[in-house]
Amino acid sequence: MLDDDEDIHPLFAGAPSGTAFRKLRKRLVRQTREAIEQYGMIERGARWLVCLSGGKDSYTLLAVLHELQWRGLLPVDLLACNLDQGQPGFPATVLPEFLRARGVAHRIEYQDTYSIVTAKVPAGRTFCALCSRLRRGNLYRIAREEGCSAVVLGHHRDDILETFFMNLFHGGRLATMPPKLLNEEGDLFVLRPLAHVAETDCERFARAMNYPIIPCDLCGSQDGLQRQQIKRLLDGWESHSPGRRQVMFRALMNARPSHLLDPDLFDFSGLARKMEQIGNNFPEIPLAR
């Protein structure tokens, strides 16, 4: 069915006809559908705010979600949204023209968070944390104004892995981006349907489709970011042991609390031997003084 050129969403119009691209497209659709089903993302009749930055990942997200909806596999309403953050030189007409030409419902919002970030972040510090908070706050507001129940982001498998290692090395905790999250106010889901998708597949897809990529000139212009360092580390592991990223990702889906060290996650003090098998002739453990 995915190979039927007579039944295709406009976002896939002009797609390459080669076997390699068809396999890539099928893999993207399958992995996205698997994540949506595995993590229970669908609420029937819901409306999703699909965030479109103009990068390869968000274009892939938009296309695959509309393909699933087009084929009756995603019973939700989709609204694409771009938040123009006022970065100098941002090509403000690219995304509206792209979305209108393909008949995609959308909202373009202008909020100058760029000036706030550059004014408040000291020289030499990274912009990402403040920029992300301001962007997320605006997206939550837009979602509520548009009657959406979820904000949908284009984070993929590699983003999730990088965040895990950033938390491990710099935050001292085992945590990452979850595929499904409820915001603090409890009224919006944050969804990441590309959770199982490799970054290289997003890159291949967006390049093959010749989507108009818009680079991020704010954080992307800074050197020495922790995420860039983690990415280089993972790239090195992958080059020496192909498939290492996927193995590590599977580990995030196979956690064993009893084999970690968090007493709030597992009741270590409540562990007890089967005393009827070994007898009950041992003295009580003295209390610590």
Inside any domain, residue 102: yes
Tally of structural domains, the chain: 1
Inside any domain, residue 282: no
Token representation of residue 12: 């896939």
Percentage of residues in the chain with pLDDT exceeding 90?
Answer: 67
Inside any domain, residue 152: yes
> Per-residue confidence at 14, pLDDT binned at 50, 70, 90?
confident
Residue pLDDT, tens place only, 103-161: 999 999 998 877 788 777 776 666 677 778 888 889 999 999 999 999 999 999 999 99
Residue pLDDT, tens place only, 47-57: 999 999 999 99
**Residue-level pLDDT at 1:** 43
Quick one: average pLDDT of 60-83?
Answer: 95
Q: By the 8 A CB rule, do 113 and 85 touch?
A: yes
Between 121 and 162, the higher pLDDT residue: 162
Inside any domain, residue 283: no
Inside any domain, residue 269: no
Between 144 and 87, the higher pLDDT residue: 144
Model-level pTM? 0.87
Domain span at 80: 17-253
Inside any domain, residue 270: no
Closest of 115, 180, 185, 114 to residue 143, by C-alpha: 185
Q: Which residues contact 85 (CB under 8 A, 6 or more apart)?
A: 111, 112, 113, 114, 131, 134, 135, 218
The enclosing domain of 202 has a CATH number of 3.40.50.620
